[in-house]
Structure 1
């Protein structure tokens, strides 16, 4: 039964049965919230496995370009740091799930839902901002060595002016950044965004439940 229908039934029933139905409403909201938080954890794990798997199949030649700009160490250590941070977020997701799974008062459940929402938002912000900052840093380093960049972008020494080649490269890098940022944003919007909307709906249901007389 939908929460709205259950609430309507609860309000129209005899007073002596109110407590029983209020517990039923709480149980339904709690069950849905627990399921949503579980899916947040599952998607986070799948996302980590996807990017890890993608990193394993990327050809070594693709990463060779970083050697020319002395970026190998930066990319290596940043990747390690990134995965450490992501794993820490997954640990928080797991803790949120186990916390929400416990039956407690409506008020405590509402507070836990707020904590889950905050954790997920920080996770999404970290990934988006981290991607943008890393890309900008790498490009700043690359464009600060124009001769090396020209050699990398034009290994066959085609007849094209250095300024034009650098301009085209800059445009392509900006376009790639925006496209990837859009793809990531859409992914997070569809996955975590959808789950957070459902979680927010449950929060509002619990809030209205708190104010029912």
Structure 2
């Protein structure tokens, strides 16, 4: 049982004339915890942005050779730039949420702000997963639009494979890779942002009870 739970239990057992004083302390505690959680959401978002940026900078050029041979670099660069712009917008929203939570001065406003924060984080997670999925689908559609180029790039050693076999092998490998990436991303978001949202939701429920009383 944390400090907020102790405050809540003591508050519920106090005489009515003491409840007003205790409710202020409970609000201050919930406000402080909510502000701290939102700050960590913003910090983790920044660290995630830096991490993926560093990964992209350290990937060797040879990794992109297949994309270059398939004339997909222009599309890939477009998606990456657009993705980072959208992520930057989300980070700005995280920062705005943190500042606004820090400045709210009553229970009702804090409840509404927490609701908006939860939605923003959920949209952020959904956007990242959807971007990986849809981006992969679009790139693959473009890639499979030219069978001759696909055959040349995916079968450079001229093995005894026809175009159907090459497409089958490519699709299977792409589906497996996409599935692994999506699962790892989902687990990461579930672990990191899921824990923070769970704590924020707990504060939200406590504030609802406080507001009702």
For this structure pair, what is the TM-score category when the shorter chain's length is used for normalisation? over 0.9
Find the counterpart in structure 2 of residue 31 from structure 1: 32
CA–CA separation in structure 1 for the residues paired with 2:140 and 2:192: 30
Q: Does 1:18 align with 2:58?
A: no
CA–CA separation in structure 2 for the residues paired with 1:170 and 1:178: 12
Find the counterpart in structure 2 of residue 69 from structure 1: 70
Find the counterpart in structure 1 of residue 172 from structure 2: 171
Find the counterpart in structure 1 of residue 119 from structure 2: 118
Find the counterpart in structure 1 of residue 105 from structure 2: 104
* Superposition deviation, residue 8 in structure 1: 1.9
CA–CA separation in structure 2 for the residues paired with 1:111 and 1:14: 29
Find the counterpart in structure 2 of residue 132 from structure 1: 133
Aligned residues: 212
In the alignment, structure 2 segments of 5+ residues that lack a partner are none
Is residue 70–residue 153 contact of structure 2 (8 Å, CA) maintained in 1?
A: no
TM-score normalised according to structure 2 size: 0.94
Secondary structure of 1:64's aligned partner: helix
Find the counterpart in structure 1 of residue 154 from structure 2: 153
CA–CA separation in structure 2 for the residues paired with 1:143 and 1:96: 43
In the alignment, structure 1 segments of 5+ residues that lack a partner are none
CA–CA separation in structure 2 for the residues paired with 1:90 and 1:68: 35
Secondary structure of 2:105's aligned partner: coil
Secondary structure of 1:157's aligned partner: coil
